[in-house]
Amino acid sequence: MATYKKKGSSKKTKKAQKEQDSTTAEVFDTLDEKAGKTEAFIGKYQNYIIGIIAVIAIGVLGYLGYNKFIIQPQQEEAVREIDLAQQHFDQAVEASSRSEKDSLFRLSIEGMNNNYGFVDIAYEYSSTKTGNLAHYYAGMAYLNLSEWTKAIEHLDQFTSDDEIMPALAKGAIGKAFLALEQNEDALDYFGQAIKASDNEFTKPMFLFKAGITALELNKPDKALAYFKRIKENYPDSDNAENIDAFIGKAIAMN
């Protein structure tokens, strides 16, 4: 198919081509110059760069090896160890008498014969998920034994992405601080429990505990805010049953 050429276009095309060639040459000259500088830099610092790459490679391989040959076997061992402690804890929760509860909670914490309890598991397997979980159960067991400081120590070391357990742990610390008559600390941890997860079980429960604690600290404005959140956001929760009375009390204290 024939291509239409406008008169004079050939001259302009040659001129444009010349300019393009010149520009292209400049670009390649610049690239050559930069490449030369890069090569010089690499040549000068070659050993240093190789060293950095080696360190990164060793770090990655070390991490993978550490997980495979140390963390995984420890995790499997920790799971076996925690089984009996968990059984004692569950039995303590179900026990009917106070003395039986205390005895079983103590066994879950301290272990028996050659079996670890939660405390030993938490520290012996601290790098594992099971060791982290053992802190939670040790803290809850100490809470049930009214050993408040030890409960706080373990619960404060527990971390989780679970929907409920982090809130329960923070709330339990708040309860322990209340028992120690450190109400400001208790209020702080009830606040952390409220923020820890958004569900219809823990949220209204700790909003209520925070509200009651705020009243005891003579902070009716804070208490009122907590109580109103229960009324507005969790009207079907158990904590909302008599919430109007507590709202009235907070208003009266202002």
How confident is the model over 174-198, as pLDDT tens digits?
999 999 999 999 999 999 999 998 8
Give rounded-to-5 percent helix, strand, coil for the chain: 80, 0, 20
Mean pLDDT of 146-151: 98
Token digits for 50? Answer: 């190789």
Poorest-confidence range of 1-5, 137-141, 218-222, 226-230? Answer: 1-5
How many other C-beta atoms lie within 10 A of the C-beta of residue 168? 23
Q: Does pLDDT of 62 surpass 50?
A: no
Poorest-confidence range of 6-15, 33-42, 65-74, 191-200? Answer: 6-15
Q: Does pLDDT of 211 surpass 60?
A: yes
Mean pLDDT of 164-182: 97
Mean pLDDT of 241-245: 96
197 and 163 in contact (C-beta within 8 Å)? Answer: yes
List of residues 6+ apart from 140 with CB closer than 8 A: 89, 151, 155, 172
Burial class (CB within 10 angstroms; exposed 0-12, middle 13-18, buried 19+) of 178:
buried
- Per the domain annotation, does 217 fall within a domain? yes
What is the spatial distance between Cα 144 and Cα 139, in angstroms, rounded to a whole number?
9
- Per the domain annotation, does 215 fall within a domain? yes
Radius of gyration from C-alpha coordinates of the chain:
34
- Per the domain annotation, does 206 fall within a domain? yes
Nearest CA-CA partner of 223 in 197, 200, 253, 194: 253
- Per the domain annotation, does 213 fall within a domain? yes
Q: What is the pLDDT of residue 8?
A: 45
Structural domain count of the chain:
1
For residue 165, give its domain range: 160-254
Q: Does pLDDT of 28 surpass 50?
A: no
What is the spatial distance between Cα 46 and Cα 104, in angstroms, rounded to a whole number?
64
In order of 26, 146, 177, 224, the CA distances from 149 in angstroms are: 75, 9, 8, 30
111 and 104 in contact (C-beta within 8 Å)? Answer: no
Band of pLDDT at residue 47, cut at 50, 70 and 90: low
Runs of H (alpha helix) within 95-160 = 98-110, 118-124, 129-144, 148-155
CATH number at residue 184: 1.25.40.10
Band of pLDDT at residue 79, cut at 50, 70 and 90: confident
- Per the domain annotation, does 130 fall within a domain? no
- Per the domain annotation, does 203 fall within a domain? yes
- Per the domain annotation, does 185 fall within a domain? yes
141 and 108 in contact (C-beta within 8 Å)? Answer: yes
- Angle of helix 220-233 versus helix 243-253 axis, rounded to 10: 150
Q: What is the pLDDT of residue 6?
A: 41
